[in-house]
Chain A
Amino acid sequence: MKKKVLACALLVYGLAAAGSMTIYSEQQSQVNVRDVGRLLPTMVKEVRSVQDSYELQEWMKNTSDTISIAGMQHSQGGQTMYPGAVMLDMKGYNKILHLDRKQKKITVQSGATWRDIQNAVNPYGLSVQVMQSQNIFTVGGSLSVNVHGRDITYGSLIDTVDSFRLLRADGTVINVSRSENSELFPLVIGGYGLFGVILDVSLNLADDELYQLRTAQMDYDEYSDYFNGKVKSKSDVRMHIARLSVAPDTFLKEMYATDYVLYRDQSKREKYCKLREKEDIVLPKMMLGLSRYSDWGKNTLWETQRDYFMKKDGKLQTRNNVMRSDSAFMEYENGNKTELLQEYFVPFDNYAAYVDDLRALLEKEELNLLNISVRYVGHDEDAVLSYAKDDMFALVLLINQGRSKEDIKKTEKVVRKMIDVTLAHDGSYYLPYYQYPSQEQLEEAYPRAQEFFQAKRKYDPEERFQNLFYKRYGK
């Protein structure tokens, strides 16, 4: 009797163990991936590192897997991921293919970062035309969101793209430019990886230049005038960035700006052209840390930062060096919390009224805002999903929040209200961030959204290229 019970117990146990192990190995065969937002962990079938376009093409011809495409994964709303899909990791596909110094043009593989390009072109006195403030992103990821940065002479990135090759779901490769397959040009740029894999990209370059920094402090309601009179109308001002205070004492009131003015003696450029590498980040990291947790920290950070930047007045810096500002101090490892970005665009003339409304809203709401930077993007509606419907100021908000469902809900509520305020001032918002905005808000900010999604299904009828952004808003 006892033996029988034992045999039974062991049998049941054995079965349970086998079952558990099967499920476990099934689960393990999937890979858990996440983007920098860390709010959307996703189980993908496989992460496939791309190094060679022919190999990728062969694989595409023979597979029916769903595909998502990833660069540095600094997008924050799952734009690079899809459950059960094969995620193409483009980071290893990063060669500089050709640099044409005369035509000022460079061709690179899409996994190359701006940093790779800067290293390649700086020795020849050349520079990128449009990119983010930092150089850590891939060219493919930047094209797919149509980025913008501190430069004020060009529009958004699409302006500076000459052509690219696109690998379609059926494994064919086509050239895309303003003259060849031109319908795809404004769809793929700002297309969030939904039309195919961008292989190599030809970009127009600018001359590297020596700039003199000019700093100014002002109230938010003087900013438009300042920008109009001293920046936009002056052809020798090439780049610009400003900050709007989030410190309780000066909340959404005080600002300071840095303009990058073409220096009168360009022969000095060579003296300054050595690319700066990692800066000392201990202090900024600590101050940002303090500002996460207290009003006192926020006030101190604002004042120190302002004084520090104001003192840079008159300093000289090359274009390439301006375009590689450090973001390492922003890296944030907290297990429970994350730091997310939001970016709102408002037409130039509505800026002061917009900031007033935003302040009124935020004084009522609870949101741990750590930073707001303000840049400028010129009117540019080339891409189907364009955010710059006018000459716009772009406000980037850095938000510290928890990772739990409740925290996400809480931020969602505030973000949607902020976007309502933005839309009320004829503004729009940026798409690479977390999927807080509602479907209606997306369609209001991007009137051509439906056209975009229909084109996606036209060019990719089987919907092989997928991501969580498309899943959330695409249908």
Chain B
Amino acid sequence: MNYKTFVTSQSIMMTASSMVFPFYLLLIRNIGDSYAQFGWAYGLFALTAALAHPVVGRLSDRVGDKWLLLLYTWGMAGMMLVVPIIENVGQLYVLQIVMGVLGAVQKTTEKTVFARQNDEAAAGKRVGKYHLWTTIWGAAAVIATGYLIDFLTIGSLFYVASFLYVVSGLVMGYGTISRSRREIIVDEGL
């Protein structure tokens, strides 16, 4: 996986997640029947993410960031298939827990990818550029969804997002295969 692959894949992933985020919030708001349940659904996500972070961190040292990122994209692709069909708060809580773990995977690995680079002088520049592109894609996705939603049902939006996660995973998987954890990123794009 080279830097370009990483940024491309993460940008696609960002597109997918930004696209569904507002609608996902709406959904958890509607499934619960009180703000307390809304609070719990959200809190469970944060809590599991918190507990998962150290584990994920250690795991990334052992198996490599790429595998974790693959786990994340495919995992999220699967979750997006579940979201449209959940019917009650119980299912929502389970979903939030799984997404909490996956969220921790993404957050940790996006940072470890950078941390594992030897080229300290250009680190800031790289992080800046990474955030530029991922955020731009995220913003574009949110805006575009505003228009798209007139034509799509909310359910199909989640399916589109799921597909984008798969694409993001494929890009990641098909990027240059990393041979060792130490040389994950070869900054050739800059």
Contacts and interface: CB of A to CB of B under 8 A. Distances in A.
B7 interface: no
A336 B35 contact: yes
Interface string B50-92: 0000000000000000000000001001100110110100000
B85 A20 contact: yes
B86 to A, nearest CB: 10
B180 interface: no
A167 to B, nearest CB: 34
Size band of the interface chain A makes with B? 20 to 34
Nearest to B37: A404
A19 to B, nearest CB: 8
For B33, B78, B153, the residue with the greatest tally of chain A CB atoms inside 10 Å of its CB is B33
Q: Is the interface of B mostly helix, strand, loop or mixed?
A: helix
B17 to A, nearest CB: 18
B173 A28 contact: no
B159 interface: yes
A305 to B, nearest CB: 30
B33 A405 contact: yes
A13 B34 contact: no
A17 B81 contact: yes
A407 B37 CA distance: 13
Given A13-B78, A16-B78, A402 B34 contact: yes
A367 interface: no
Given A6-B173, A23-B85, A17 B37 contact: no
A9 to B, nearest CB: 7
A21 B35 CA distance: 29
Given A24-B155, A28-B153, A28-B155, A404 B36 contact: yes
B167 to A, nearest CB: 11
A17 B84 CA distance: 11
Nearest to A20: B81
Contacts of B81: 16-17, 19-20
Q: Which of A16, A20, A21, A28 has the most CB of B within 10 A?
A: A20
Nearest to B35: A336
B10 interface: no
A400 to B, nearest CB: 14
Among A27, A336, A403, A407, the one with the most B-chain Cβ atoms within 10 Å of its Cβ is: A336
Interface in A3-21: 6, 9-10, 13, 16-17, 19-21
Nearest to A27: B85
B166 A24 contact: no
A335 B33 CA distance: 8
Contacts of B159: 17, 20-21
A99 to B, nearest CB: 45
Interface in B142-161: 153, 155, 159
Contacts of B84: 20, 24
B79 to A, nearest CB: 11
Contacts of B78: 13, 16
Contacts of A13: 74, 77-78, 166
Contacts of A17: 81, 159, 162
Interface string A374-415: 000000000000000000000000000011110100000000
A404 B40 CA distance: 14
B29 interface: yes
A57 to B, nearest CB: 34
Contacts of B35: 336
A86 B85 CA distance: 22
Interface string B86-124: 010000000000000000000000000000000000000
Nearest to A18: B81
A9 B85 contact: no
B110 to A, nearest CB: 22
A59 to B, nearest CB: 28
A13 B170 CA distance: 13
Given A28-B155, A402-B34, A335 B29 contact: yes
A9 B173 CA distance: 12
Interface in A88-135: none
A378 to B, nearest CB: 41
A20 B84 CA distance: 8
Contact of A403 (B33, B74, B87, B166): B33
A403 B87 CA distance: 17
Interface in A316-361: 335-336
Scoring B81, B82, B155 by chain A CB atoms within 10 A of each residue's CB, the highest score goes to B81
Interface string B159-180: 1001000100010010000000
A21 B163 CA distance: 13
A43 B78 CA distance: 26
A404 B34 contact: yes
B103 to A, nearest CB: 20
A278 to B, nearest CB: 31
A6 B169 CA distance: 10
Nearest to A6: B173
Contacts of A404: 33-34, 36-37
A145 to B, nearest CB: 26
Nearest to B38: A336
Given A9-B74, A24-B155, A404-B33, 11 more contacts: A10-B166, A13-B77, A16-B81, A17-B159, A24-B85, A27-B85, A27-B87, A336-B33, A403-B33, A403-B34, A404-B36
Interface of A: 6, 9-10, 13, 16-17, 19-21, 23-24, 27-28, 335-336, 402-405, 407
27 contacts: A6-B170, A9-B74, A10-B166, A13-B74, A13-B77, A16-B81, A17-B81, A17-B159, A17-B162, A20-B81, A20-B84, A20-B159, A21-B159, A23-B85, A24-B84, A24-B85, A24-B155, A335-B29, A336-B34, A336-B35, A402-B34, A403-B33, A403-B34, A404-B33, A404-B37, A405-B33, A407-B34
Ordered nearest first, which 6 A-B pairs have the shortest CB separation?
A: A404-B34, A20-B81, A23-B85, A403-B33, A24-B84, A404-B33
